[in-house]
Amino acid sequence: MRLLLAAVLAGTIALALPAHGANQGAQPHSAQHGPLDRQERNFMAEVALTAVAEMRLGRKAMERAEDAAVREYARRMVEAHAAALERLRAIARQKSVTLPATLPPSEADRIGALEEAGGNRFDRGYMNAQEETLARTLKFFEASAQELDDPELRAFAADALPVLRREQQTARDVMRELAGRAARGG
C-alpha cells in the first residue's frame, strides 16, 4: 500500500504536465497499440489512487500545518495532483478505462492517522511522508517510463520525472528548514 500511495502522489504530479509532444495528433489507442495490458491498467489505477490520497493529505496540511512552507508545499501538491488526475481521466476516457475514485480502507486509515497528529508533529509527519513517497514514486515512474508498452502512458510517466525530482528536492528543503527551526528551538 505504501507503493500505491507513492505512485498516486507521483502520478498526480505527472498528470499536471502538458501532454507529451509525441502524442499530439496521435490516433486512438486501439489503432496504435491495442487493448491495455494488466500492467498499464494497474499503473493508471495506482496513479489515480495516489492523486486522491495526495489531494486529501494536502488539503489537510493546508488546514493544519503550523509552518507556512509546509502549507505552501501542500497547496502546490493539491494543485499538481488535481491537474494530474484530470489528465489521467482524459487518457482513461480515451482508452475506455474506469479509474478507482476512493481509497482502500487500509490507506484511508493510514492517512487518517497522520491527519490526527497536531502542530509540529503533523508538519514533520506530512513532510516525512512526502519525502518517502516521492522516493518510491520516482522509482515507480522511472520503471514505468521504460516498461509500459502503451506509448501515451510511457510518455506520461517520462514527462512526470522532472517534476517529481523537483518536488522531491522541495520536500527535502522544507524538511531541512523544519529541522533547522527545531534545532534553534523555534
Per residue in 51-106, pLDDT tens?
899 999 999 999 999 999 999 999 999 999 898 899 999 999 999 999 998 888 87
b/e per residue 162-178 (b: at least 16 CB within 10 A): ebbeebbebbeebbeeb
In tens, the pLDDT along 136-157 reads: 999 999 999 999 999 999 999 9
Q: How far apart are CA 83 and CA 18, in angstroms?
A: 10
Q: Confidence class of residue 39 from pLDDT cuts 50, 70 and 90?
A: very high
Stated length of the chain: 186
Q: How far apart are CA 129 and CA 123, in angstroms?
A: 10
Comparing 2 with 103, the larger pLDDT belongs to 103
Predicted pLDDT at 3: 37
Cell of 128: 516525512
Comparing 27 with 68, the larger pLDDT belongs to 68
> Cβ(61)–Cβ(25) under 8 Å?
no
Q: Which CATH class is domain 2-16+34-183?
A: mainly alpha
- Residue type at 101 in one-letter notation: A
